[in-house]
Chain A
Amino acid sequence: MSTLLFDEPGPRARRRIRVATVAGVLVLLALLALAVRQFAANGQLAAERWQPYATWPMWRYLLGGLWSTALAAVVSAALAMAAGIALALGRLSRRRWVRLPSAAYVEAVRTIPALLLVYLVLFALPRYGLDLPLFWKLVVPLAVSNAAAFAEIFRAGILSIERGQGEAALALGLTHGQSMRLVVLPQAARRVLPSIVSQSVGLLKDTSLGFVVSYAELLYSGKVLANYNGLLIQTYVVVALVYLVVNASLSALARSLDRSAAGGGGPRRRKITRVPR
């Protein structure tokens, strides 16, 4: 194996690698021992404190929370994607009065924390007589903030389609709208699919704001459960593991989509554009 930073190791390098391996493993074991000691010293390893999470009623409750999480994520993803496509087309429009507001929306929303939007919907809108149901109090701010991210992904996708595609469609007599809808967008959508899945993982992570809204998604269900049975760290560890399994599977899906999309076209490898969180 030869990469950017090292060649096939020789005898000395192999010795150094062995030393680093042993040191790394020792540090890991020390950390693990420390964690186990802290858990044990505070009585958190006792079987009866973990045993509840081997029973079905607990899991039924948590899976109910996961279902609500999925529902909120799917609905806000659908709204955010629709708005994102509209904003992307708006930003690429030839008309200035469409282009400028779309750009302003994307740039402004990018710099407002989702939690501030949630507070706005929670505490500000009711004063103006708009008291949404709990579900929408979570979904609306998430859709508003993620629409900007989806817009940027779709815009990048549309711009990545070869100019000739749109020009050929126009030459065949399609209108501008038709060529966008029938020729450019379908190709762009396929191309940005991995980034869309990756962004949806981010959106799924954002649904944990249900904790603030008190919408009974996974994290809030965990809070309710922890307040009820007093098993704080156990409950939150289990909740974290559920999030990890779901999101890691989705991320793996994004990667395999990316590979299969790049696979046909030779060695050219596209990267998933991941919006930092």
Chain B
Amino acid sequence: MSALLDHLPEVWQGLVVTLQMTAASFAGAAVAGLVIVAMRVGPVPVLRAVATVYVETLQNLPLLVLLVLAVFGLPEIGLKAGLTTTAVVVIALYEGAYIAEALRSGVNAVSAGQGEAARALGLTFGQSLRHVVLPQALRTVVQPIGNIFIALTMNTSLAAAVGVVELTAAANRVNLLEARPIPVFVGAGLAYAAIAACAGFVTGRLERRLAVAR
């Protein structure tokens, strides 16, 4: 255990980076997912097609390929940004596709009468989506979105493969210095498990709080 305690500052720094990346990319993914799902369920064929292509493309590409392409490829065409920023943007766009799919299944689960009633009241597409359909859709997809959050946390570790020093990379560095792999990697694994447990706890509470009595 001392191997981990001696290097607590580095590991703690890595954990902080992981948490920051998780928070930033989840926020970005939520925004991207909302925009994509609005396009995908909307009445404009072109936007529907764009959103479908977006979701299909990003879900069928490995995240690591996208990270490598962005980190090593984009500077070649003159787009330079910080390493962590690039990773956060890529993860946000990638997980945005999954959030859009989860939201779409939520929208499909809202009963047709709700949308019809909204239209009968004279609400426009945007209004009925914002005030009637999405609030109900979001409640049904709390659990799936929580699972996406956990997957996103795990996925921030891939940023280590392109050079971001977050928790996984920090743990690996400490291991290379100390050559005590078991405590170091178990410690890092426990940190990830703790994040996932918190996410599970929060989604469980949210789901019960938000459940619609039908």
Give the interface of A toward B (CB within 8 A). Answer: 3-7, 9, 13, 17, 20-21, 24-25, 28, 35, 38-39, 41-42, 44, 108, 110-116, 119-120, 123-124, 127, 201, 204-209, 211-212, 219, 222-223, 226, 232-233, 236-237, 239-240, 243-244, 247-248, 251, 271, 274-277
Asked if B147 is at the interface (CB within 8 A of a chain A CB), the reply is: yes
Question: Shortest CB–CB separation between residue A115 and chain B, in angstroms?
Answer: 5
By a CB distance below 8 angstroms, the chain B residues around A222 are 68
Q: Return the contact of B192 from the options A28, A111, A237, A243 (Cβ within 8 A).
A: A111
A38 vs B185: C-alpha distance in the bound complex, in angstroms?
42
User: B60, A4: Cβ atoms under 8 Å?
Assistant: no
A205 vs B66: C-alpha distance in the bound complex, in angstroms?
11
Question: Shortest CB–CB separation between residue A148 and chain B, in angstroms?
Answer: 12
**What 5 pairs between A and B have smallest CB-CB spacing?**
A124-B181, A111-B196, A247-B60, A113-B157, A233-B73
Residue of B nearest to A226 (CB): B72
Question: Shortest CB–CB separation between residue B104 and chain A, in angstroms?
Answer: 11
**A111-B197, A119-B168, A120-B181 known; A209+B64 contact, CB < 8 A:** yes
User: B78, A5: Cβ atoms under 8 Å?
Assistant: no
By a CB distance below 8 angstroms, the chain B residues around A35 are 77
User: B78, A38: Cβ atoms under 8 Å?
Assistant: yes
User: B62, A232: Cβ atoms under 8 Å?
Assistant: no
Q: Return the contact of A24 from the options B44, B108, B129, B168 (Cβ within 8 A).
A: B44
- 30 example contacts (A-B, Cβ-Cβ < 8 A) are as follows A3-B115, A4-B107, A4-B112, A4-B114, A4-B133, A5-B42, A7-B119, A17-B43, A28-B50, A39-B77, A42-B76, A111-B193, A115-B160, A119-B171, A201-B60, A205-B61, A208-B62, A208-B65, A219-B62, A232-B73, A233-B74, A233-B77, A236-B69, A239-B65, A240-B61, A244-B57, A247-B60, A248-B60, A271-B105, A277-B98
User: A112, B192: Cβ atoms under 8 Å?
Assistant: yes
Residue of B nearest to A122 (CB): B172
By a CB distance below 8 angstroms, the chain B residues around A271 are 105
A159 vs B200: C-alpha distance in the bound complex, in angstroms?
23
Range class of the B interface residue count: 35 or more
A248 vs B62: C-alpha distance in the bound complex, in angstroms?
12
By a CB distance below 8 angstroms, the chain B residues around A17 are 43-45
Give the interface of B toward A (CB within 8 A). Answer: 41-47, 50, 56-57, 59-66, 68-69, 72-74, 76-79, 95, 98, 101-102, 105, 107-108, 110, 112, 114-115, 119, 125, 128-129, 133, 144, 147-148, 150-151, 154-155, 157-158, 160-161, 168, 171-172, 175-176, 179, 181-182, 185, 188-189, 192-193, 195-197
A42 vs B76: C-alpha distance in the bound complex, in angstroms?
7
By a CB distance below 8 angstroms, the chain A residues around B172 are 119, 123
Question: Shortest CB–CB separation between residue A99 and chain B, in angstroms?
Answer: 20
By a CB distance below 8 angstroms, the chain A residues around B43 are 5-6, 9, 13, 17
Residue of A nearest to B110 (CB): A4
By a CB distance below 8 angstroms, the chain B residues around A276 are 95, 98, 102, 144, 147-148, 150-151
Majority SS at the chain A contact face? helix
Q: Return the contact of B181 from the options A5, A20, A123, A277 (Cβ within 8 A).
A: A123
Q: Return the contact of B62 from the options A39, A44, A123, A243 (Cβ within 8 A).
A: A243
Q: Return the contact of B193 from the options A9, A108, A212, A275 (Cβ within 8 A).
A: A108
By a CB distance below 8 angstroms, the chain A residues around B128 are 5
A39 vs B196: C-alpha distance in the bound complex, in angstroms?
40
A139 vs B166: C-alpha distance in the bound complex, in angstroms?
24
User: A4, B41: Cβ atoms under 8 Å?
Assistant: yes
User: A243, B60: Cβ atoms under 8 Å?
Assistant: yes
Question: Shortest CB–CB separation between residue A66 and chain B, in angstroms?
Answer: 13
Question: Shortest CB–CB separation between residue A36 and chain B, in angstroms?
Answer: 10
Question: Shortest CB–CB separation between residue A233 and chain B, in angstroms?
Answer: 4
By a CB distance below 8 angstroms, the chain A residues around B73 are 232-233, 236-237
Question: Shortest CB–CB separation between residue A9 and chain B, in angstroms?
Answer: 6
A41 vs B128: C-alpha distance in the bound complex, in angstroms?
44
**A20-B44, A211-B68 known; A116+B189 contact, CB < 8 A:** yes
User: A233, B76: Cβ atoms under 8 Å?
Assistant: yes
User: A119, B185: Cβ atoms under 8 Å?
Assistant: yes
User: B168, A277: Cβ atoms under 8 Å?
Assistant: no
Question: Shortest CB–CB separation between residue A269 and chain B, in angstroms?
Answer: 11
